[in-house]
Structure 1
Amino acid sequence: MQHLEEQIAHLTKTVDEMSAVVARQQTEIDRLTHRVQMLMEREAGREQEAGGGVVIGDERPPHY
């Protein structure tokens, strides 16, 4: 019986530690998602200011 109680205590501690790790990871994911969104908006603004030209991969450069 004592062995089972020790295992349960160990598993409970492990679950608590993992829960804390997941919470930190979610905070980091949220922060990074926000930063990526800001960068996407910034880049969209730059493209709009530059005339919004789209470069197509197989398109010949204008000097040909």
Structure 2
Amino acid sequence: EIAADEDNVRKVSQYLTDVVLPKFVQDLCTLEVSPMDGQTLTEALHAHGINVRYIGKVIDCVSWLTCFK
């Protein structure tokens, strides 16, 4: 049962990084989401089901987008 739980966690994490984070970054780029400070950024992340611990991955996704340069 523990192995199955760990497998589910891996799958959810993979979905988050492959689907949810890129969609969130796309929303940032199109200004559908426009956080201006730490609190609104945290709220926006949570509204998209993203824990703040993934902020580094969000930054990695944003770094290659031209809309933020």
Give me the TM-score of the superposition, normalised by structure 1: 0.43
Give me the TM-score of the superposition, normalised by structure 2: 0.41
Bigger Rg over Cα? 1
**Structure showing greater relative contact order (alpha-carbon pairs closer than 8 Å, 6 or more residues apart):** 2
